[in-house]
Chain A
Amino acid sequence: MFDSWRNKKSSTTVSSDMVSKQRRYDSLVRALHTDIYRYGYWLCGDKHIAEDITQETFLRAWRSLDSLKDEKAAKAWLITILRRENARRFERKQFNYSDVEQEFLEDTFSSSTEDHAEQHLLQRQISKLELEYREPLLLQVIGGFSGEEIAKILDLNRNTVMTRLFRARNQLKDALEQPTIRGQSNG
């Protein structure tokens, strides 16, 4: 009798653990799926692939949710999974996803307002940035991480991160300031 009582108790704690795990996951998804998706998009430059790797990332997160002790670290944790998931994509598939030719370029340029045009240009420039410059910028702007946190996620030292951020902004600034010159030189 004692045994059955004990079993009953442990099974209820198991199911309540399940419920609280589900709640944690729900709030994780709701709070962070936007950032993760955007980060994924700027990492791979394709909406569908971004959605795929976001799915994979969150599934992996569900499976190892118990290993996430500190909720504040959740975003960095998810981004680490996402980056690994993105790298895996290149292991799986041998064909090359170009970082330069982006899908969003098909966005109708002519009908946009000037603001949109500028934003479009900026998006184009961001996607043209080398990944090593682009990623710290994504982490800073989308992730809201500090220089040190970015260094930790990317496994670089802080000075390197700051230099890359500097170059990233510098390149974007140049591109915005002399778009016509660039256009001419390209043409």
Chain B
Amino acid sequence: MDELTFRRQAYGEPNNQDPEFLHAAMESAEREAFLNDLKGLDNKIEKALNIDVPDDLAAKLLLRQQLQHHHSQRRKTGFAFAMVASVAFLAGITFTLLRMGPVDLGQHALAHVYHEGKALQLDNNVQYQDVNFQLASLGTVGDMKFTQQPGKMFYSTYCDFQGVRSLHIVMQGEQGKVTLFIVPLEDRMVLEQAFSDSKYKGLGFTTDNAYMLLVGEKHDDLNYVKNEIKQTFI
């Protein structure tokens, strides 16, 4: 390695560990002294460059990042919370509006009969006093009652007509069984005089305090039960 290249390399990188360079440095005592001189300079430069760093700089850096991170996290959860809240609010409103909407009693009665198919198979031989007892807890129907047994009653239970507590009774008609729903009067209910689908026929009428809905397979049964009720229910 010629003198010029050596000197340039020595100036460029005194602590170069390249074997060729190290070998070149060993060639003469002058070169060695020259290189040591430069290394000495480099030590001084390094010391000069190593200015004091503020003690708390690392802590400050971490703190600032944490704060910013915390901030963005807050923003994110805030946004998520707002979304969840508005969805819940919307769901609440929708649900309430649905419940407030008009209720077609006839269709609901049919659906109810299909839904509780077992009601038509049971035979609990219910007494009218028991039914009166159940009627007593139906709010506005409270002062209504059967004065005597209106034919045989197979089954009686509470049920729900779009949020209105009602009574579900299965009675004996002329031939088949007839389902009777007693639903307390309510503004949003829409009562049809007659309704039907492919299997069942229905009849609706109003007493002073309640809607009466009859569902059965034959018109004769319905009229038979209707008459019975008119005689016994006040």
Interface residues of A (CB under 8 A from B): 25-26, 29-30, 33-34, 37-38, 41-42, 47, 51, 54-55, 58-59, 62, 104, 118-119, 122-123, 126, 137-138, 140-142, 146-147, 162-163, 165-166, 169-170, 172-173, 176
Contacts and interface: CB of A to CB of B under 8 A. Distances in A.
Interface string B43-55: 0111111110110
A123 B53 contact: no
Contacts of B62: 25-26, 29
Interface string B1-35: 00000001101111000000000000000000000
A33 B58 contact: yes
B64 interface: yes
B91 interface: no
Given A29-B58, A33-B61, A55-B64, A119 B48 contact: yes
Contact of B13 (A118, A138, A165): A165
B29 to A, nearest CB: 20
Chain A at the B interface: SS class: helix
A115 to B, nearest CB: 9
B22 to A, nearest CB: 16
B120 interface: no
Nearest to B45: A141
Contacts of A122: 44-45, 48
Contact of B60 (A55, A162, A176): A55
B48 A173 contact: no
A166 B12 contact: yes
B111 interface: no
A126 B48 contact: yes
B65 A25 contact: yes
Going nearest first, the 4 A-B pairs with the smallest beta carbon separation are A166-B11, A122-B48, A162-B12, A165-B12
A1 B108 CA distance: 32
B85 interface: no
Contacts of B9: 162
Interface of B: 8-9, 11-14, 38, 41-42, 44-51, 53-54, 57-58, 60-62, 64-65, 68-69
Contact of A170 (B11, B42, B47, B50): B11
Nearest to B8: A166
A176 B13 contact: no
11 contacts: A33-B58, A37-B53, A38-B50, A54-B61, A122-B45, A123-B51, A126-B48, A146-B13, A166-B12, A169-B41, A176-B44
Contact of A33 (B14, B47, B57): B57
A156 B107 CA distance: 85
B36 to A, nearest CB: 13
Contact of B57 (A37, A146, A162, A170): A37
Nearest to A142: B49
B11 A41 contact: no
B41 A176 contact: yes
A165 B7 CA distance: 12
A41 B51 contact: yes
A33 B8 CA distance: 32
A59 B51 contact: no
A33 B64 CA distance: 14
Contacts of B61: 29, 33, 54-55, 58
A112 to B, nearest CB: 13
B211 to A, nearest CB: 41
B13 to A, nearest CB: 6
Given A58-B65, A126-B49, A141-B42, A147 B58 contact: no
B58 A38 contact: no
A25 B49 CA distance: 25
